[in-house]
Chains A and B, each alone.
Chain A
Amino acid sequence: MGHTKVDGKPNLKIRMKHRNVDRYVFFALALVSLLTLGTIIYFIFAEAVPFLDKMRLVPEEQGTTSKWGEHFTDTRLGDLFTSTWRPESDREEFFGTLPMIVATTVVTLGAMVLAIPFGLSAAVFVGEVGPRWLKDVFKTVLELLAAVPSIVYGFFGLIIIAPFVRVHLDVVSGSNGLTAALILSIMALPTISSLAEDALHAVPNTYREASLALGATRWQTIWRTIIPSASSGIIGAVILGMGRAVGETMAVLFVAGNAPFLTWNILRPLRPITSAIALDMQESVRGSAHFHSLFAMGALLLLITLIMNWTAEWFHGRLLKRQGLKGG
Chain B
Amino acid sequence: MVIEAREKHGIEAPSRKDSVEDGMASTRDWVKRKFYGETIIDVEDLDFTYSKVRALQNVTITIPRDGVTAVMGPSGCGKSTFLRTLNRMYEVVPGAKASGTILFEGENLLKTDPVVLRHKIGMVFQRPNPFPKSIFDNIAYGPRIHGLRNKKKLMAIAEDALRRAALWDEVKDRLKESAFSLSGGQQQRLCIARALAVSPKILLMDEPCSALDPKASDCIERTTRELAEALTVIIVTHNLQQAARVSDHVAVFLAGGHLAEFGATREVFEDPESQEVGDYLQGRFG
- Which residues of A approach B to under 8 Å, CB–CB? 132, 204-217, 220, 224-225, 228-229, 322-325
Contacts A215-B119, A323-B132; A210 near B125 (Cβ below 8 A):
yes
Interchain Cβ contacts under 8 Å between A and B, 15 examples? A206-B129, A207-B129, A209-B125, A210-B130, A210-B131, A210-B191, A211-B145, A212-B92, A213-B118, A213-B122, A215-B119, A215-B142, A217-B145, A220-B145, A324-B177
Known contacts A132-B94, A324-B179, A215 near B146 by CB under 8 Å: yes
**A212 near B178 (CB under 8 angstroms)?**
no
Q: Nearest 8 CB-CB pairs, A to B? A: A324-B178, A206-B129, A323-B132, A324-B180, A215-B119, A215-B118, A213-B123, A214-B142
Give CA–CA (A324, B137) in the complex, Å.
14
Interface membership of B115, Cβ < 8 A? yes
Interchain CB contact under 8 A, B178 and A323: yes
What is the number of residues of chain B that contact chain A, defined by CB distance less than 8 Å? 32
Q: How far is the CA of A225 from the CA of B194 in the complex (A)?
A: 14
List A contacts of B145 (CB < 8 A).
Answer: 211, 214-217, 220, 224
A211 touching B94, Cβ below 8 Å: no
- A215–B141 Cα gap in the complex (Å)? 10
CB distance from B181 to the nearest CB of A (A): 5
Residues on B with C-beta less than 8 A from A323 are 132-133, 178, 180
A208 touches B92 (CB 8 A): yes
Q: How far is the CA of A224 from the CA of B142 in the complex (A)?
A: 11
CA distance A206 to B194 in the complex (A): 14
Question: Which of chain B's residues have a CB closer than 8 A to the CB of A325?
Answer: 132, 180
A210 CA / B194 CA spacing, docked (Å): 9
Mark each residue of chain B from 149 to 187: 1 if its CB lies under 8 Å from any CB of chain A, else 0: 000000000000000000000000000011111000000
A-side contacts of B87, CB under 8 Å: 213
Report whether B198 and A215 are in contact in the complex, using a CB–CB cutoff of 8 Å: yes
> Binary interface profile of B, 77-109, with partner A (CB < 8 Å = 1, else 0)?
000000000010100101000000000000000
Contact status of A214 and B116, CB under 8 A, knowing A206-B127, A224-B141, A225-B131: no
Which of A132, A216, A224, A322 makes the CB contact (< 8 A) with B115? A216
Given known A324-B180, A324-B181, contact A214–B132 (CB-CB < 8 A): no
Inside 8 A of A212's CB, which chain B residues have their CB? 89, 92, 118
Residue B195 at the A interface, CB < 8 A? yes
Bound: A170/B277 CA distance, A: 82
| Pairwise interchain contact A214-B194, C-beta atoms closer than 8 A | yes
Min CB distance B251 to A, Å, is 21
Distance from A208 Cβ to chain B, minimum over Cβ atoms (Å): 7
Q: Are B129 and A217 in contact (CB under 8 A)?
A: no
Residues of A within 8 A of B133 (CB): 228, 323
